[in-house]
Structure 1
């Protein structure tokens, strides 16, 4: 090659690189401006959370959410579909109303638990009693006779409804320590009471039901003002309700002092038989490498104590808004950009596990998966999840993220493989480079995770907008990357607990027939 030809080649290469860099900078600038100046987040949040509402697997509201998402994507000219992966016990929540009618009248704060049997419109009225205290499991069988015709309280009464940080701010050190000592003692006594029944926490409600109890009352305090966690019932014929800490404590004291409180519970619900379960999938088809995939990931379902705003409404909103922006600004990506809104994550990553199992041709050609789940906060941590060379590609993509977004993020490379907790783990187990965009707390674990307070007003839209910019830039960079990402894994260390060599997590199939008898 002559010097003249070599010089022309170098100039061409440099000019191409400059054009490429300029093009990349222009695209990222457009993404930022669209996210900041034309955000659809609040409108999407209203439609999903206020109109559709909670998204418990097996409910009509879950199906409404899937249909809403497909319609919304189609309005953006993004092809979308609902893919059935299994079936579930169908159930729909109705009205819950709980009133104390003796020794005085007061409406109580509470609700039936998911999949609780219905009381019917007339409701059930009965005395409230505390779980019988027994010497051992045989004695408990005898004591069970006393619960017939009664509502039975099965949770420990909390000595305080103030969270610890409130005590820490206002109490004397001696008073705070005294309270914690008393609470620890009560917890040990209550755990001992439960242990002596000889039954697990799941078995206990069924035993009380079989003994003729009219219903079960629980209270799962979430260590914050006015907030309880709301999960599922284990009874098959009688209602199970969760009551606020404040009202539960009052009922407990009345029963303990011999005032024989009575309540009327109307907890309407409908059993709907076997219903299909879905994932919603949408995609922007790639132009140069359409058979390679950048996957945006967020679970769509929620518990239904509230509307699932931060678990995982916010993750859902991030992925939908990212797809809207990319379709508008980057309609012809190099690789296919696919979004998965997974069903039944809350019962064991079922939707994503089913997708991974059913779509090996996609999973085997994943460039990267970006998952967001844990709350409304701005992303502050990303792990390489045990992929040996993750720093090389993920680090280079993150470098292009605007500094006002990336400055909050700590990285951990190569990290260790995630084994659960959210849907990225389904892909990691299959060897696909998947990364969780882990966010700032905003008291997530106490106030919104699976609680009766996980509502629209808890969303911090500035932080969610931050996460849209991050996700959109990462998806763009992953799609444009000339190289296919490495799947090489680290050699895992010896477990300190077992002394044995740790192994990579194994893929697991979904629960395909949830809560349905064989």
Structure 2
């Protein structure tokens, strides 16, 4: 059969038209991505937002007035940008507010100590509690410990192992002889093992022993949970009903412990003016840029809003919050009429078990069923360096396509894992993954996150690396734009999961879990 000239011309015309359309689309994408980057670099709001959230509002422990102030601030900020937002109540929590805290050694010398009351700790009386200090004894069994327990009545009890060194291992490795470093580690391991065995001998765990001491009439609990980094302690909750619990720096705790053990008669005064506020509502802040063509399909920009309150929650998860808010601001300015609806979800009570996001997926099945993609950031201030397909078989196809549009200087650091395994916890994307919805974690470079800032007293504004957060805002905004404009829905087909090397069994997809909607109950 001979080629017909008219048919040939038509074919060439169609090919040319298709090529022209593809070129026009590519040019449009490149132009909008350039606008995103320009806005992120030349008109960044990150430093201003960080100051308002971390310095002025401060830590965002669920159930506190500061958490409520943060929700109100976020709604007002979104509205200033022309983005409708609201606070959606999903439950209630134990209301509590941290107050002034003074910790002073009175004997054998006077010195103000470095520490703080733990979250939800009972208050001291107005004049404080002044009492002697006592350490846990070495006991053979729970009966021996029960016989000793009356000794704590009216005293502050030191419940943590005194650390043999306040220098992180990297500091030892740099300066010590190899023999000295190995000896320190061996001695510390033996001390830790003996301490844990003695605690088991009491019949209690590190969490349950506080209740036993409280029941025996202790005046209060003193602990020190060193993170392994200079000056950093992990700060969590008190786990008592009537007596206060404080955390002291490694240095001050060790000094008190040595004084008590050597019979120096240490005497401690603590004034901690916290307040119980009863049951209070708890929220998610949800902002929405309505889609123009497919409003019932969604892209969600996800970060948890709450924090522990040892510092100001700067890198956990202030920086994730800043990333999502800044990405939304940029998109509203340069891409105000998205094809699909873009939602910003700032979730409450992630730290107590992903409660805010788990409530959202229960309360908004329409978003779960219409989800095109969710992007979550929650592991510190660093630039994103890893994205997993979360077990979705075809994630490589669409995530790969979207990442191609991201500027090279952003993606050059990123490694991808496809199809990956579904997240089972750890952060809020897992709430959506458990529902079979395509949700992805934008995982960041460490910046010593686990030792220095994760749940510590050092998680403050000065630890934010703004260049990296700006990088992440650009990445998030471009991914959201590409997901919104994609002509196809994302596939939810699940991969055959890998074998867990620890158990030898094939992994199964995680099951959805309901939130705790009445948190902080005694």
Same fold (TM over 0.5): yes
For 2:274, what is the secondary structure of its paired residue? strand
Measure the CA separation in 2 of the matches of 1:515 and 1:35: 39
Residue 328 of structure 2: aligned partner: 323
In the other structure, the counterpart of 1:425 is 430
Residue aligning to 1:199:
204
Match of 1:454 in 2: 459
Q: Say whether the 8 Å CA contact 1:96–1:266 is kept in structure 2.
A: yes
1:513 — aligned with what? 518
Whether the aligned pair in 1 keeps the contact of 2:421 and 2:498 (CA below 8 Å) is: no
Alignment of 1:459-498 (within 5 A): 459-498=464-503
Indicate yes or no: 2:248 matched with 1:243: yes
Report the counterpart of residue 216 of structure 2 in structure 1.
Answer: 211
Q: 1:426-463 CA deviation, whole Å, 9 max, x = no partner?
A: 11100011110000000000000000000000000001
Hey, what's the Cα distance between the residues in 2 that align with 1:320 and 1:156?
42
**1:292 aligns to 2:328 (yes or no):** no
CA–CA distance in structure 2, aligned partners of residues 494 and 400 of structure 1: 34
Distance 2:51 2:125 in 1: 31
Q: Which residue of 2 aligns with 1:85?
A: 90
CA-based RMSD of the aligned residues comes to: 1.1
**Deviation by residue 1:155-191 (Cα, 9 ceiling, x = unmatched):** 0000110000000000111111111111111101110
CA distance, structure 2, for counterparts of residue 93 and residue 62 of structure 1:
12
> Does structure 2 conserve the Cα–Cα contact (< 8 Å) formed by 1:274 and 1:516?
no
- Equivalence for 2:116: 111
Which residue is 1:377 aligned to?
A: 382
Choose 211-220 or 507-516, whichever is displaced more: 507-516
Distance 1:188 1:54 in 2: 35
Pairs within 5 Å for 1:139-288: 139-288=144-293
Following superposition, the deviation at residue 482 of structure 1 comes to 0.6
Matched, 1:42 2:47: yes
Q: How many residues align?
A: 517
**Are 2:400 and 1:392 aligned?**
no
Deviation per CA, 1:104-163: give whole Å up to 9, x if none. 101000000000000032100000110132221111111001000100000000011000
Match of residue 335, structure 1, among 322, 325, 340: 340
Alpha-carbon distance in 2 for matches of 1:447, 1:469: 26
CA offsets 1:401-425 (integer angstroms, 9 cap, x no match): 1111100001100011111111111
Please state how far the C-alpha of 1:17 moved relative to its aligned partner. Answer: 1.5
SS at match of 2:264: coil
- The aligned residue for residue 3 of structure 2 is none
Secondary structure, counterpart of 1:281 in structure 2:
strand
Q: What residue in structure 1 maps to residue 29 of structure 2? A: 24
2:100 to 84, 95, 99: 95
| Superposition deviation, residue 9 in structure 1 | 3.0
Q: State how far apart, in whole Å, the 1-side matches of 2:333 and 2:344 are.
A: 16
Give per-residue Cα distances to partners, 1:197-224, cap 9 Å, x unaligned.
Answer: 1012221001101101000000000111
User: Does structure 1 retain, via aligned residues, the 8 Å contact 2:140–2:201?
Assistant: yes
1:55 aligned residue (54, 57, 60) = 60
Task: Confirm or deny: 8 A CA contact 1:79 1:284 kept in the other structure.
Answer: yes
Tell me, in whole angstroms, the C-alpha distance in 1 between the residues paired with 2:14 and 2:27: 20
Counterpart Cα distance in 1 of 2:138 and 2:239: 21
How much does 1:499 deviate? 4.3
